[in-house]
Amino acid sequence: MEDILQQACDGELSAAEAAEALRSLAAQPLGFATIDHQRLERCGSAEVIFAEGKTPDQVAVIASAIIERSGAALITRAGGAHVDALRAKLGDLPMLTDSHQRTLLMGQQPPVENESAIVIVTAGTSDQSVAQEAQVTCAAMGMGAVMINDVGVAGLHRLGAKLDVLRKASVVICIAGMEGALPSVIGGLVDVPVIAVPTSVGYGAAFDGIAALLGMLTSCASGVVVVNIDNGFGAAHAACLMARKMSLATTDGHG
């Protein structure tokens, strides 16, 4: 903002040009999109691009505009064509991604604040793509995440072996499909918030994640909150807001 004002003072920008530039600091109109550049300031992270339903071109243009301002852009639920268009437009930029290239962090990855504040637990191996979406999101927000995989309730001793890791967490993200029972069990074992992510793993009465979603919403454990089916991104985003606040608090405390 100061740059713009300086340029106006220096006569490099007319008053009208400066006003337009200031307005686009907050919301940059691209015709098919209106980028919310203020979001970083208001909400603690830049706008995230939901790729589904957008053309590859639109995704690449939006990503480019966000990276220009914020240094990096997070893209979720991308398909192959989206990835190609991003590479074509922004190819020399570093890219962090999950193993299926559905979640992508283009641009500079922020330094990691805290390696182990967030623990991501999956009930089964089939839940892993959702867990990776969460992991990339944590990275995009500068938080590390410890993974504990395949410790579903039908073999609870597997979870028992990881209790020490769990109990060191500031927030637990618990990802499960089918009956989605794992968050209830974990919620009964820890004194930190548990963010439950239902997945569409299962068939028949799993109804693409509804069984797990309902199970998590009606959990008999008290500290469990829930996000949308397969929404690894949302869970990680919320977890980072929490963990970051906890770190900030600690840091403030030091001051």
Q: Binding a second copy by CB under 8 A: which of 34, 81, 94, 168?
A: 34
Residue 42 or 92 having the CB closest to a second copy: 42
Closest CA to 103 of 240, 244, 237: 237
Calculate helix-pair angle for 232-254, 128-140, nearest 10 degrees: 40
Q: Which two tokens stand for residue 4?
A: 């713009």
| Minimum CB–partner distance for residue 241 and a second copy (Å) | 5
Given candidates 170, 174, 175, 232, which one binds a second copy under the rule CB under 8 A? 170
Kindly calculate the radius of gyration of the chain based on its CA atoms and give it in whole angstroms. 21
DSSP 90: H
Q: Does 195 bind a second copy (CB under 8 A)?
A: yes
Interface region with a second copy, contact rule CB under 8 A, candidates 5-13, 29-37, 90-98, 105-113: 29-37
Among positions 65, 78, 146, 184, the unique one binding a second copy when judged by CB under 8 A: 184
Under rule CB under 8 A, residue 206 binds a second copy = yes
Is 155 near a second copy (CB under 8 A)? yes
Cα–Cα nearest to 61, from 95, 100, 20, 106: 106
Nearest distance, CB of residue 92 and a second copy, angstroms: 25
Site for a second copy in 207-236 (CB under 8 A): 207-231, 233-235
**Strand locations in the chain, DSSP E?**
27-29, 34-36, 49-50, 72-76, 95-97, 104-107, 118-122, 145-148, 171-176, 194-198, 224-226
Our CB check for a second copy shows the closer of 92 and 254 to be 254
Can you state the percent helix, strand and coil of the chain, rounding each to 5? 50, 15, 35
Q: Is 139 in the site for a second copy (CB under 8 A)?
A: no
Does residue 124 belong to the site contacting a second copy (CB under 8 A)? yes
CA dist 235 and 220 (Å) reads 20
Give the shortest CB-67-to-a second copy separation in angstroms: 17
- Minimum distance of a second copy from residue 74's CB (angstroms): 10
Tokens of 114: 């805290």
Tell which positions 231-250 bind a second copy, by CB under 8 A. Answer: 231, 233-235, 237-238, 241-242, 245-247, 249-250
Helix (H) or strand (E) run with residue 234 in it: helix 232-254
Please identify which residue in 16, 42, 91, 111 interacts with a second copy, judged by CB under 8 A.
42
53 binds a second copy (CB under 8 A): yes
Residue 106 or 216 with smaller CB distance to a second copy: 216
Pick from 52, 62, 75, 60: nearest CA to 31: 62
